[in-house]
A and B are shown apart, each in its own frame.
Chain A
Amino acid sequence: MDLVSEAKISQMASMEKVRYIIDEVRKGKILVLEKGLNPMEEAKLIEMTMSAIQPDVFSGIEMQSYPANTDASLLGKFFKKQSNKRLTVIGPANQLKTLKKDRNLISALVSASE
């Protein structure tokens, strides 16, 4: 399992981040990103994951991030402040299984690679 700092991820362009995640996860790694991806990057990651799926080799990823913190104050609503990215865990679908998730807790089961 790799715990990836915000500093490392923030140096990368969006496409680099997605490529890095897919490559690491396909090697069987589980990544915990200190600050996750933005919503567009998450969508791109889903898209690229689909392209990488191969029967009996790679069935996709398990990805869990918390819902974004939104600023419900009047000023926050007025300025439509960009929501904060939050911790994200990503791993191969056959090794990482989410047991429970709510607004502030992700409970997951990690198993050894098959």
Chain B
Amino acid sequence: MSMIKRFKVSFSKIFNKMFKKKGACIGIYGPPNAGKTTLSNRILHDWVGNEETMGSVSHIAHETRHAKRRNGLTIEANGHTITLDIVDTPGLATKIDFHDFMEQGMNDVESKKRSKEATEGVIEAVKWLEDLDGVILVMDSTENPYTQVNVTVIGNMEARNLPLLIVANKVDLPDADPGVIKEAFPQHPMVPVSALEGVGMDSFYEALAKQFG
């Protein structure tokens, strides 16, 4: 290798080290049971392999009660490669009643324990909002999108001038209507997906690269 070429390579390495953009830290938010962990697991499945998951999923709300971070996830889309840290957060809620868990078949002690852990999880999720570079907001396409949780998360991102991508999840279900979500929050990009079935994921990764790349 010529002297000039060697100099160019070394300079390029130093320059990259000095100015290399840190991978953005993106939080996955949404109300309980919107499919945040299912989406996180799908992303890991698509880009890491079957052996790694972000967490377990359940039909009972507040299955995820601690935020989980996966660093250095590399995603290729639109001819670009982006590296992100993703944080799967517990479902945000304004109320948690242990009776709701009892109705799902849990006993009194289990329900109160889950309720306590769920409140701690919500606090953790709110605190994470301050340390993120952007948010993927997961909504259930079969539900009314005008929930306070959605309004608050979107408001926080807009107030901080941070990028937001809305995911209209569960489009595999017959009652799904992602158009209602688009109509509710037209100022933000929205991608319809079924994280469970893997439908719409290519469009999701393209939007992800565009928003956070």
For chain A, give the interface size range.
Answer: 20 to 34
> How far is it, in angstroms, between the C-alpha of A83 and the C-alpha of B160 when the chains are bound?
11
Is the Cβ of A46 less than 8 Å from the Cβ of B184?
no
Q: Is A70 an interface residue (CB 8 A)?
A: yes
Binary interface profile of A, 53-80, with partner B (CB < 8 Å = 1, else 0)?
Answer: 1010001111111111010100000001
Contact residue among A38, A63, A67 (Cβ-Cβ distance under 8 Å from B154):
A67
Q: Is B98 an interface residue (CB 8 A)?
A: yes
Residues of A within 8 A of B92 (CB): 46
Q: Is A8 an interface residue (CB 8 A)?
A: no
> How far is it, in angstroms, between the C-alpha of A68 and the C-alpha of B148 when the chains are bound?
12
Q: Is A1 an interface residue (CB 8 A)?
A: no
Name the CB-closest residue of A to B157: A39
- Kindly provide the distance from the CB of B167 to the nearest chain A CB, expressed in whole angstroms: 17
- Kindly provide the distance from the CB of B96 to the nearest chain A CB, expressed in whole angstroms: 6
Is the Cβ of A60 less than 8 Å from the Cβ of B94?
yes
Q: Is B151 an interface residue (CB 8 A)?
A: yes
Contact residue among B112, B123, B148, B154 (Cβ-Cβ distance under 8 Å from A47):
B123
Q: Is B144 an interface residue (CB 8 A)?
A: yes
Q: Is B156 an interface residue (CB 8 A)?
A: yes
Is the Cβ of B97 less than 8 Å from the Cβ of A60?
yes
23 chain-A/chain-B pairs, Cβ below 8 angstroms: A38-B155, A39-B154, A44-B126, A46-B93, A46-B126, A47-B122, A47-B126, A50-B119, A50-B122, A51-B119, A53-B95, A59-B97, A60-B93, A60-B95, A64-B148, A65-B151, A67-B185, A72-B187, A80-B161, A93-B94, A93-B95, A102-B146, A103-B146
